[in-house]
């Protein structure tokens, strides 16, 4: 198992994420690794991340957060080696609480899948990568479900899910609870956070660490999930990526 293609022959990896920064914080090393090997990479982002918690910045405080985050996404994508970024028109749902009008999670999965179907017909990916939503964010889970539904119509596309090891997530929660007690994202059942380690295939991404750090730094408006971690745990998160091959391509089929 070597994650997104590192042996490109007309390979096109399409990464579908929910928010600006998911491409860097979530799977930046996998993107950088594929791009460095010559694979064409496109990022499709469902929202502009306007519900994110904003860090003060006198340079951009007067701008709408969605505008700021979309530019951060495009800057980070260039660092990672992404060729094309496409941003869809859905609103950010936020991590919890009442759903804002027109936010991603108010749109039925089938409707999001229909739009992605048209996108995939145009982009013709050979493989698709998503975050699996095991961090508990409802937008991440909605995107994963929509991609799963879409790919039922594309049997020749390889489907990968970037995941988080439960063992690392338990360590992360323990450390974060001492620094940010009461945060909503720390109230999730620990057993359901991430995926069991035995289900995952580990990819050494040490070689991509510097590029990933540079991409994450582009998201200045946002707090990194790796902020405040001990150096040991931060490195554990950022030098090993975990992937599940949700479906290998079926060569007997074709795109429909």
Q: CA–CA separation, 19 vs 206, rounded Å?
A: 25
Q: CA–CA separation, 90 vs 102, rounded Å?
A: 7
What pLDDT is stored for residue 1 in this prediction? 47
Query: Which residue stretches of the chain have pLDDT < 50?
Result: 1, 252-256
Q: How many CB atoms lie within 10 A of CB 59?
A: 8
Strands (DSSP E) contained in the chain are 12-17, 40-47, 84-90, 127-131, 158-163, 201-204, 240-247
For 54-100, what is each residue's pLDDT tens digit? 999 999 999 999 999 999 999 999 999 999 999 998 999 999 999 99
3-state class (DSSP) for residue 123 = helix
What pLDDT is stored for residue 9 in this prediction? 64
Q: Which two three-digit tokens encode residue 42?
A: 């496109």
Question: Does the predicted model carry a pTM greater than 0.85?
Answer: yes
Contact 48, 66 (CB under 8 A): yes
Q: CA–CA separation, 67 vs 256, rounded Å?
A: 35
């Amino acid at each position: 198992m070597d994650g997104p293609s590192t042996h490109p022959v007309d390979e096109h990896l399409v990464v579908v994420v929910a928010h600006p920064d998911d491409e860097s914080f979530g799977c930046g090393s996998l993107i950088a690794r594929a791009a460095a090997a010559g694979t064409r990479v496109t990022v499709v982002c469902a929202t502009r991340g306007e519900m994110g918690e904003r860090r003060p910045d006198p340079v951009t405080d007067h701008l709408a957060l969605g505008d700021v985050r979309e530019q951060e996404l495009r800057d980070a994508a260039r660092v990672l080696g992404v060729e094309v970024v496409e941003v869809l028109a859905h609103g950010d749902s936020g991590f919890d609480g009442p759903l804002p009008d027109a936010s991603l999670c108010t749109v039925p999965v089938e409707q999001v899948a229909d739009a992605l179907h048209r996108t995939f017909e145009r982009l013709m990916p050979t493989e698709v990568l998503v975050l699996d939503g095991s961090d508990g964010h409802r937008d991440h889970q909605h995107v994963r479900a929509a991609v799963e539904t879409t790919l039922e119509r594309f049997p020749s596309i390889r489907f990968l899910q970037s995941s988080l090891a439960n063992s690392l997530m338990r360590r992360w929660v323990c450390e974060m609870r001492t620094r940010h007690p009461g945060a909503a994202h720390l109230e999730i059942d620990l057993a359901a956070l991430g995926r069991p380690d035995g289900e995952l295939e580990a990819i050494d991404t040490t070689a991509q660490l510097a590029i990933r750090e540079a991409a994450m730094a582009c998201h200045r408006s946002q707090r990194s999930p790796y902020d405040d971690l001990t150096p040991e745990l931060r490195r554990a998160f950022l030098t090993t990526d975990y992937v599940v091959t949700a479906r290998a391509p079926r060569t007997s089929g074709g795109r429909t």
